[in-house]
């Protein structure tokens, strides 16, 4: 069966209202996965260097709690600036998120994830418009820097980060992630749209697996065929890609 090709230009960026729904759903899904794990699963290594499942769960919780109130956000930013000095801001932030939660028991961690997920989604949705317009400098995995508006961070990146870590957790523990077209398919499509805007070249992208879909931009290019989740892993730096697949998209 031939699938309809979706023009990349028709992929609307995720807006504020939709971002709230996606973040609330994703926060709930990662909690469900972590709550389903066995005792042995929590010590398994993940593809995030230096982090086992327990440490990665602490980072995920830190991301939610750090963006659940202005008090917590200010604490996180101040602590990160102090620790980062001339080093990586993101590395310092994630280190703090894990370290501040390292002594939580698993029931405590799950309980706090349950409380923080909805609260974080609401806080990000209500982020004041003047602050959403503020831009910050961010460093990508290849060392290049670019400026992001806070709206991009709270609407898109924080959900992508949690989504990708849910994939990391599922892979580390041998679980199949719950994937639906309405939720995961939308996150993937948004990443495709940004990828297309970043490189600006013609392509036909045939995504396979549970989130199978075909996207195109321009004409005259050889098709790129890849599992939808693996496509996002490659763009995030978790896999290697050549040609257009070497174009990074932040996750």
Identify the pLDDT of residue 143: 77
Question: 62 lies in a domain?
Answer: yes
Question: 245 lies in a domain?
Answer: no
**Which of 198, 192, 204 shows the shortest CA–CA distance to 232?**
192
Question: 216 lies in a domain?
Answer: no
Flag residues of the chain having pLDDT under 70: 1-2, 86-87
Q: At what angle do helices 158-173 and 53-66 cross, to 10 degrees?
A: 160
Question: 197 lies in a domain?
Answer: no
Pairwise CA distance, residues 159 & 17, whole Å: 13
| DSSP assigned state of 7 | E
For the record, the structure tokens of 191 come out as 């990443």
3-state helix, strand, coil in the chain (%, to 5): 60, 10, 30
pLDDT digits (tens, 9 = 90+) for 140-183: 777 788 899 999 999 999 999 999 999 999 999 999 999 999 99
Identify the pLDDT of residue 1: 56
List phi, psi (to 5°) of 84.
Answer: -70, -40
Question: 228 lies in a domain?
Answer: no
Q: Please tell me the number of Cα atoms within 13 Å of 202 on its side-chain side.
A: 6
Pairwise CA distance, residues 88 & 21, whole Å: 31
Identify the pLDDT of residue 46: 97
- Tell me the longest C-alpha to C-alpha distance in the chain: 56
Q: Which domain covers residue 104, as residue numbers?
A: 12-182
Residue 225 DSSP SS3: strand
Question: 24 lies in a domain?
Answer: yes
Question: 229 lies in a domain?
Answer: no
Identify the pLDDT of residue 2: 65
Q: In a 10 Å sphere around its CB, with 0-12 CB exposed, 13-18 middle and 19+ buried, how is residue 26 labelled?
A: buried
How is 156-177 classified by DSSP, letter by letter?
Answer: IIHHHHHHHHHHHHHHHHTPPP
The CATH number of whichever domain residue 24 belongs to comes to: 1.20.120.450
Q: How many domains are there within the chain? A: 1
Identify the pLDDT of residue 137: 82
Question: 136 lies in a domain?
Answer: yes
**Which of 18, 5, 4, 7 shows the shortest CA–CA distance to 186?**
18
Pairwise CA distance, residues 99 & 222, whole Å: 46
């Amino acid at each position: 069966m031939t699938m309809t090709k979706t023009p990349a230009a028709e992929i609307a960026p995720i807006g504020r209202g939709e971002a709230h729904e996606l973040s609330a759903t994703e926060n709930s899904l990662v909690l469900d996965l972590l709550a389903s794990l066995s005792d042995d699963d929590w010590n398994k290594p993940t593809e995030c260097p230096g982090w086992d499942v327990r440490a990665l769960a602490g980072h995920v919780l830190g991301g939610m709690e750090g963006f659940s109130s202005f008090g917590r956000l200010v604490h996180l930013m101040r602590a990160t600036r102090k620790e980062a000095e001339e080093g990586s801001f993101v590395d310092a932030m994630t280190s703090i998120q894990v370290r501040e939660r390292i002594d939580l028991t698993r029931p405590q961690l799950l309980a706090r994830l349950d409380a923080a997920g909805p609260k974080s989604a609401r806080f990000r949705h209500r982020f004041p418009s003047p602050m959403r317009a503020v831009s910050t400098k961010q460093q990508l995995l290849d060392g290049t820097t670019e400026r992001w508006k806070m709206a991009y961070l709270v609407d898109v990146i924080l959900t992508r980060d949690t989504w990708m870590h849910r994939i990391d957790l599922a892979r580390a523990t041998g679980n199949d992630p719950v994937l639906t077209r309405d939720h995961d398919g939308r996150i993937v499509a948004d990443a495709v749209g940004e990828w297309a805007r970043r490189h600006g070249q013609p392509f036909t992208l045939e995504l396979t697996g549970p989130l199978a879909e075909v996207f195109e931009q321009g004409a005259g290019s050889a098709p790129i065929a890849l599992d939808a989740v693996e496509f996002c892993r490659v763009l995030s730096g978790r896999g290697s890609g050549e040609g257009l697949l070497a174009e990074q998209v932040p996750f």
